[in-house]
Amino acid sequence: MFRNVAELVELAEGQGITIAEVMIRQEMQVTNSSREAVLERMGRNLDVMEQAVERGLRGVQSVSGLTGGDAVLLQRYIQSGKALSGELLLDAVSKAVATNEVNAAMGTICATPTAGSAGVVPGTLFAVRNKLNPTREQMIAFLFTAGAFGFVVANNASISGAAGGCQAEVGSASGMAAAAIVELAGGTPQQAAEAMAITLKNMLGLVCDPVAGLVEVPCVKRNAMGAANAMVAADMALAGITSRIPCDEVIDAMYKIGQTMPVALRETAQGGLAATPTGKRLEAKIFGVTLGK
């Protein structure tokens, strides 16, 4: 088993296998399952992700009315030919948004690594599918690669917004996605680690401040930015750019930042955007509370 990213990369390079393969073998060992059973379970996760993306792209609306329909707007904008950011990047963003809009509308999603950050990994995967044309097996491998990095973060830092802020949720998801994109695109295990580091260190300090305590605002749009971050970081790593701070040290820094983050900025809806005048008005409107003077 591996405990950190350095050991993960060492295992992959030493055995001449992918990070996905390292994770598959570990899952077989930990769960005492056959290879077929492990792959089948991840295949079901892939199906849930795809269904969520497709549903979100058709248009959904949350019960609160705070979120919904933005994924559709982005797709229309892409089709207009006026997009400045590039079709692939915005496609990833729209599919990340689609997934989280489905989550906000009480639909079925696959937590990667959490429900509030569930859009980044599938959003990027189903966007790069149109560019790289992977097989279903390669798409499943993408999820194992993402899972390997998520495993490290969960065991050495946190994937909980309540414990470490949104850096631990969308930040972790973005790093996981970036690493998986690199491996799917033919990058090395070390390049995948560089992508994770580049992504995560640019999301350090991100607070968790959900308006009205709901996983909607700003969560959905943070998944959008997380997907964009992952795509750019993956390209940087594939270009040969490295992180001056090793991946494991970035993860450790995230943990320490989360520990010192005020409670008001860790999913309590007491600070940040949740505490703005508009945030408070939205909370009062949703829950029928009368605001004091």
* Third-level CATH fold of 5-284: 2-methylcitrate dehydratase PrpD (1.10.4100)
Tokens of 69: 């329909």
* 112, 146 contact by CB (below 8 A): yes
State residue 117's pLDDT score: 98
Tokens of 47: 């199906």
pLDDT in tens, 18-56: 999 999 999 999 999 999 999 999 999 999 999 999 999
- 96: which DSSP letter? H
State residue 62's pLDDT score: 98
Which CA distances in Å does 89 have to 39, 81, 184? Answer: 28, 14, 16
pLDDT in tens, 212-227: 999 999 999 999 999 9
Mean pLDDT of 121-139: 98
* Reported pTM: 0.97
* 103, 115 contact by CB (below 8 A): yes
Is the pLDDT assigned to residue 149 strictly greater than 80?
yes
Reported confidence tier of residue 288, pLDDT bands at 50, 70, 90: confident
Reported confidence tier of residue 293, pLDDT bands at 50, 70, 90: very low
Residues counted in the chain? 293
Mean pLDDT of 57-84: 97
Question: What would you report as the CA-atom Rg of the chain, rounded to the nearest whole angstrom?
Answer: 19
Residues with Cβ within 8 Å of residue 257, at least 6 apart in sequence: 164, 165, 167, 204, 205
State residue 292's pLDDT score: 53
* 266, 161 contact by CB (below 8 A): yes
For the chain, the distance separating the N- and C-terminal CA atoms, rounded to the nearest angstrom, is 57
State residue 291's pLDDT score: 59
Nearest Cα to Cα of residue 47 among 117, 143, 124, 190: 143
- Which burial class, exposed, middle or buried, applies to 195 when counting CB atoms under 10 A from its CB (0-12, 13-18, 19+)? buried
Separation between Cα atoms, residue 205 and residue 186, nearest integer Å = 31
Dihedral Cα 18, 19, 25, 29, nearest 10 deg: 160
Nearest Cα to Cα of residue 209 among 200, 218, 201: 218
Dihedral Cα 34, 36, 41, 45, nearest 10 deg: 150
Is the pLDDT assigned to residue 207 strictly greater than 50?
yes
